Chains A and B, each alone.
With several copies, the nearest count.
Chain A
């Protein structure tokens, strides 16, 4: 009954790991509760996009992940 959270870019630094298991199910509310400190702030306020199983979802608030899903947190991509 778990979900794999993947942290990209600076979020991996803030999380201290590049991935972590969390309990299923997961929505945007439970995700932001799960992440605390600077990581939680960055995810809540930081123009993060979310991909579920390799597909970016249109609205973070529509997150609805279940057992076995991979949820990636994608900060804005770096400039050229």
Chain B
């Protein structure tokens, strides 16, 4: 029902979405989101690290929560770890549902939690130096929508 993965090599959203659509032929709609490394701000590379005992289990729990909250046919969460170049996909979320509002909400819910409530640590390479990315106040505002 759910398809939750950590990937240490290229994430190809189109291929994953095509498969997800085939896996849920009865869903009236699929809402999805692809997040990419922004090719601006002088960022030369992004590295995501994770902690295996927590990160994937946390993502699986997130998917289970979404499925309990909205009537979904299925939820897909694919997240990269490792070093990525500007323009590369970092995350793909897709929600299949009978009604489009449910699909949209579940996909946004998953994205908001992945962005600020999942066990990932990020650093950016700028001008040849790695910089760790701190939490942002804005992320917590995003999470409050779902309380």
Q: Is the CB of A54 within 8 A of B57?
A: yes
Number of residue pairs A-B, CB distance < 8 angstroms: 64
Minimum C-beta distance from A77 to chain B (A): 6
B64 at the A/B interface (Cβ < 8 Å)? Answer: no
CB within 8 Å of B: which A1-28 residues: 6, 8-10, 12-13
The residues of A that contact B142 with a CB separation of less than 8 Å are 80
Instruction: Tell me the count of chain A residues lying within 8 A, CB to CB, of chain B.
Output: 19
Known: A9-B49, A9-B132. A78 touches B54 (CB 8 A): no
Among the 9-residue stretches A31-39, A58-66, A67-75, the one with 4 or more Cβ atoms under 8 Å from chain B is A67-75
Contacts of B82 in A (CB 8 A): none
Choose one: B54, B122, B130, B139; the contact of A56 (CB below 8 Å): B54
Q: Which A residues have a C-beta under 8 Å from some C-beta of B?
A: 6, 8-10, 12-13, 51, 53-54, 56, 70, 72, 74-80
